[in-house]
């Protein structure tokens, strides 16, 4: 059977570092990039005698995420120990949640070529991150950096509802958008603060029994996720086609070779010996806390996108870009409150503003001008006070200096000449000087018109109101 006769079945496990100030079980900072082992204390170093104390912010973030993903938030959940030896795991066990996670039975809607699709979320649980082993190539030594040990993580596990690599990528993007919107995660795949493992299996089309699955690791970009899943699907199909059996195992995505390779077989899999963490009582979340979190829930990306198309009459393309990040969407809405033509505003956002943000590498939070000032600039363009081109220069200047648009227009002399008399004088002058061209035009060579516009604008140093220049030229040429 060819690949097309097989149905891939995919589930994703997302690990998202929570944006808390301190670690999950101690007061150490979660800041990224500190000198190795700087952000540590006896607790996250796993010293003898230490005990974990739960950071309540972590619970708040988990509840918020659970509600956003339409989960049931459990009023009682239980901490467990996952036991295994590794140098980056100071206590020899990870404190996590196992058979009683904080959230269950959620969903996330994604877009597919066939339309919207609901991907079920099986569970969300909280856990602590491990540290990092650093292998020193020169000295043959391995070093351990425990700055990351104890940084809070959410693990979000989907049901195996995804059917191809593109759906998996869509799901991961939608998940990232939600988490970033909620302010619980920075969505950074490259730095590993947002990561994912994929469980992939294939079965003959029409079958209702899932095939043996493999877990893929090291998928630290959307591109790698897609490539690894596609590779793995064809690998599994090949194994079955050649009469073999897919073994349950953990496989690592090899970025350089573009293949997945076996990391751990089922036999080598750890027996984690989970048991309830005796140092932490069961976690209780009150109805009041859940209600408060529900009330404080921001509008989510998908809802915002729908509203942007209906409320502002924007095309889906525009709405999608404008709502991709919450600060951009918020800024757009702040501007729209001062300026009625949402589509025109969107054009400026998608064009000039995003170009400037990208080129200057400025975050929106550091923007130097106000929504009202941007609206003022667009109004000036509409009124013809400045040309659209000059308006772009003004925006650039606002971006760099934070000066008011009116001041910039005045300082730089960018105001458009809309005085009919003044323009008429110039038009007359140009036509008089170019009598030969006027003859040609009148003889039917209409393309000379552009030449006249150019001459007038040049004489006016680009400040002539183009509509007026056009109108007057046409009138004088007898059109």
Partner 1 sequence: MQLTDLTMLELAAKLAAGAVSSEEATRACLERIRQVDPKVRAFLRVDEEGALVAARASDARRKAGNPASPLDGVPVGLKDIFLTEGVETTAGSRILEGFVPPYDATVVRLLKEAGLPLVGKLNMDEFAMGSSNESSAYSLTHNPWDLTRTPGGSSGGSSAAVAAREVFGALGTDTGGSIRQPAALTNTVGLKPTYGRVSRFGIIAFASSLDQPGPMTRTVGDTAALLQLIARHDPQDATSAAVETPDYSADLEGGVRGLRLGVPREYFIEGMDPEVEASVREALREYERLGATLVDVSLPHTKYALATYYLIAPAEASSNLARYDGIRYGQRAKDARGLKELYAQTRERGFGPEVKRRIMLGTYALSAGYYDAYYLRAQKVRTLIREDFTKVFKDVDAVLSPTSPVPAFKLGEKVDDPLSMYLMDVFTLPCNLAGLPGLSVPCGFTKAGLPVGLQVLGRPFDEARLLRIARAYEREHDFFLRPAPLRG
- Report the interface residues with partner 1, using CB under 8 A: 42, 45-54, 81, 83, 85, 87, 90-93, 142, 144, 271, 273-275, 278-281
**Residue 21 tokens, joined:** 């100030």
Question: Nearest distance from residue 53's CB to partner 1, in Å?
Answer: 6
The answer for residues whose C-beta is within 8 angstroms of residue 277's C-beta and 6 or more apart is: 52, 78, 79, 80, 81, 95
Closest CA to 274 of 478, 94, 418: 94
Sign of CA dihedral 437, 442, 443, 447: positive
Cβ atoms of 25 and 95 within 8 Å: the answer is yes
Q: How many Cβ atoms are within 10 Å of 347's Cβ, its own excluded?
A: 14
What's the min distance (Å) between Cβ of 276 and partner 1?
8
Q: Which two tokens stand for residue 106?
A: 């959620």
User: Strand, helix or coil at 423?
Assistant: helix
Maximum Cα–Cα distance across the chain:
99
Quick one: 57 or 120, whose CB is closer to partner 1? 57
Pick 95 or 426: Cβ nearer partner 1: 95
CB of 127 to partner 1, least distance (A): 16
Q: What is the nearest approach in angstroms of partner 1 to the Cβ of residue 285?
A: 16
Instruction: Kindly state the tokens that stand for 102.
Output: 């904080």
Q: How far is the CB of 215 from partner 1 (least distance, A)?
A: 17
Integer Cα distance of 103 and 284 in angstroms = 12
Q: Please state, in angstroms and rounded to a whole number, the distance separating the CA atoms of residues 151 and 23.
A: 5
Smaller CB separation from partner 1, 59 or 377 = 59
Q: Please, which residue, 272 or 449, has the CB nearer to partner 1? A: 272
| Closest to 12 measured CA to CA, from 210, 117, 165, 127 | 165
Tokens 């140093």 sit on residue: 461
Q: Are 4 and 163 in contact (CB under 8 A)?
A: no
C-beta of 42 vs 244, nearer to partner 1:
42
Residue 381 near residue 418 (C-beta atoms within 8 A) = no
Q: Using the minimum distance from each CB to partner 1, give the nearer residue, 142 or 401.
A: 142
Nearest approach, Cβ of residue 85 and partner 1 (Å): 6
Of 191, 190, 182, 133, residue with least CA distance to 156 = 182
* Closer residue to partner 1, CB minimum distance, 80 or 455: 80
Q: Name the minimum Å distance from CB 192 to partner 1.
A: 22
**SS3 of 62, please?**
helix
* Rounded distance between C-alpha atoms, residue 280 and residue 78, angstroms: 8
CB-nearer residue toward partner 1: 115 or 278: 278
Q: Are the C-beta atoms of residues 156 and 69 closer than 8 Å to each other?
A: yes
Q: How far apart are the first and last CA of the chain?
A: 72
Q: Rounded to the nearest whole angstrom, what is the least distance from the CB of residue 55 to partner 1 in the complex?
A: 12
**Residues counted in the chain:** 479
Q: Which residue has the tokens 């990391």?
A: 263
- C-alpha R_g of the chain: 30
Check residue 417 and report its DSSP letter.
B
Contact 6, 203 (CB under 8 A): yes
Q: Closest CB to partner 1 among 270 and 343?
A: 270
CB of 24 to partner 1, least distance (A): 12
Min CB(142)–partner 1 separation in Å: 8
Of 268 and 291, nearer to partner 1 (C-beta) is: 268
**In the bound complex, what is the minimum distance in angstroms from residue 87's beta carbon to partner 1?**
5
Closest distance to partner 1 from the beta carbon of 132 (Å): 13
Alpha helix ranges (H) inside 104-261: 165-182, 222-241
Residue 296: CB atoms within 10 A of its CB come to 10
Q: Which is nearer to partner 1, 283 or 409 (CB)?
A: 283
Instruction: Give the nearer residue to partner 1 in terms of CB position, either 87 or 258.
Output: 87
């Amino acid at each position: 059977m060819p690949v097309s006769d097989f149905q891939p079945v995919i589930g994703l496990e997302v690990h998202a570092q929570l944006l808390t100030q301190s670690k999950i079980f101690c007061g150490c900072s979660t800041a990224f990039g500190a000198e190795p082992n700087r952000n540590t204390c006896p607790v996250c170093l796993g010293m003898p005698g230490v005990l974990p104390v739960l950071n309540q912010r972590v619970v708040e973030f988990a509840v918020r995420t659970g509600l956003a993903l339409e989960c049931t938030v459990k009023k009682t959940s239980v901490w467990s120990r996952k036991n295994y030896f590794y140098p980056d795991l100071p206590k020899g066990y990870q404190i996590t949640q196992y058979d009683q996670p904080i959230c269950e039975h959620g969903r996330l809607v994604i877009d597919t070529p066939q339309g919207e699709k609901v991907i079920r979320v099986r569970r969300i649980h909280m856990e602590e991150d491990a540290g990092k082993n650093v292998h020193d190539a020169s000295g043959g030594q391995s070093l351990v950096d425990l700055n990351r040990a104890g940084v809070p993580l959410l693990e979000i596990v989907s049901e195996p509802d995804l059917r191809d690599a593109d759906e998996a990528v869509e799901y991961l993007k939608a998940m990232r958008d939600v988490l970033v919107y909620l302010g619980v995660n920075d969505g950074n795949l490259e730095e590993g603060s947002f990561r994912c493992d994929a469980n992939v299996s294939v079965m003959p089309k029409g079958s209702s029994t899932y095939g043996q699955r493999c877990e893929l690791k090291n998928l630290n970009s959307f591109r790698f996720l897609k490539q690894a899943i596609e590779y793995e699907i064809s690998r599994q199909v090949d194994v079955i086609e050649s009469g073999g059996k897919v073994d349950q195992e953990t496989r690592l995505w090899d970025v350089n070779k573009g293949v997945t390779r076996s990391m751990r077989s089922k036999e080598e899999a750890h027996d984690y010996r989970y048991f309830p963490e005796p140092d932490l009582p069961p976690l209780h979340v009150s109805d009041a806390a859940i209600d408060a979190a529900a009330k404080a829930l921001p509008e989510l990306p998908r809802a915002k996108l729908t509203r942007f198309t209906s409320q502002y009459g924007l095309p889906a393309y525009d709405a999608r870009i404008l709502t991709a990040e919450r600060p951009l969407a918020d800024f757009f809405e702040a501007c729209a409150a001062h300026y009625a033509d949402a589509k025109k505003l969107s054009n400026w956002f998608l064009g000039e503003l995003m170009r400037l943000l990208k080129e200057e590498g400025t975050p929106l939070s550091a923007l130097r001008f106000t929504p009202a000032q941007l609206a003022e600039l667009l109004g000036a363009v509409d009124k013809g006070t400045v040309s659209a081109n000059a308006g772009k220069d003004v925006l650039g200047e606002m971006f760099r200096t934070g000066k008011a648009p009116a001041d910039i227009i005045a300082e730089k002399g960018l105001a458009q000449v809309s005085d009919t008399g003044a323009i008429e004088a110039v038009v007359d002058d140009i036509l008089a000087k170019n009598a030969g061209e006027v003859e040609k035009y009148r003889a039917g060579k209409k393309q000379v018109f552009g030449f006249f516009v150019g001459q007038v604008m040049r004489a006016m140093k680009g400040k002539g109101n183009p509509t007026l220049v056009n109108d007057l030229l046409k009138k004088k040429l007898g059109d």
